[in-house]
Structure 1
């Protein structure tokens, strides 16, 4: 039966210790990376909340703008309606005045005829 050299046991123990240290170091790096990942995820969630707030604000401002546009349009339509009404009233007054003048002219013609 063969026996292993005690030097080999010592080298093997050193190698195992080295692997264990590397494993611990990698585990620490992994934990730090996971912690950083969680921090970045939290930052992302905060930014998403901010984006949602901005989108709601944008939508609100858009609705305000559209309401303002509708109000201006309605105001313009009211002005146009008032102008048309004024023009029709004026036209009607002119027609009535012309009719009165014609009637007066006709009554004068009948008087002198």
Structure 2
């Protein structure tokens, strides 16, 4: 992810995860900027078609509201609806897995809203 991706990625994420919550577009932009300027462990990958971001996936140490000590997380996989079912999500997950492996991570945790129970 680079600076010019942040607004589009935040819009994808807000639409996918935060509609009806208290998290705003500005909140998500701020969180993504922290990833961009962090220590390199936490990261966001972006899939683009041309110059347009159409998907994203994150590697983060903690979930938004951690109630546990599990870490790190594959998080925030979001693909624009019109680009789903084309292998973009799979490619993003593989990129996160490769990044995590390069950092010595042996296991990733995954949170999914649909399977939260």
Query: What band does the TM-score fall into relative to the shorter chain?
Result: under 0.3
Greater relative contact order (Cα < 8 A, sep 6+)? 2
Q: Which has the larger radius of gyration?
A: 1
TM-score, normalised with respect to structure 1: 0.19
If each structure's strand is expressed as a fraction of its own residues, which one has the higher value?
2
Task: Name the structure where helix makes up a greater proportion of residues.
Answer: 1
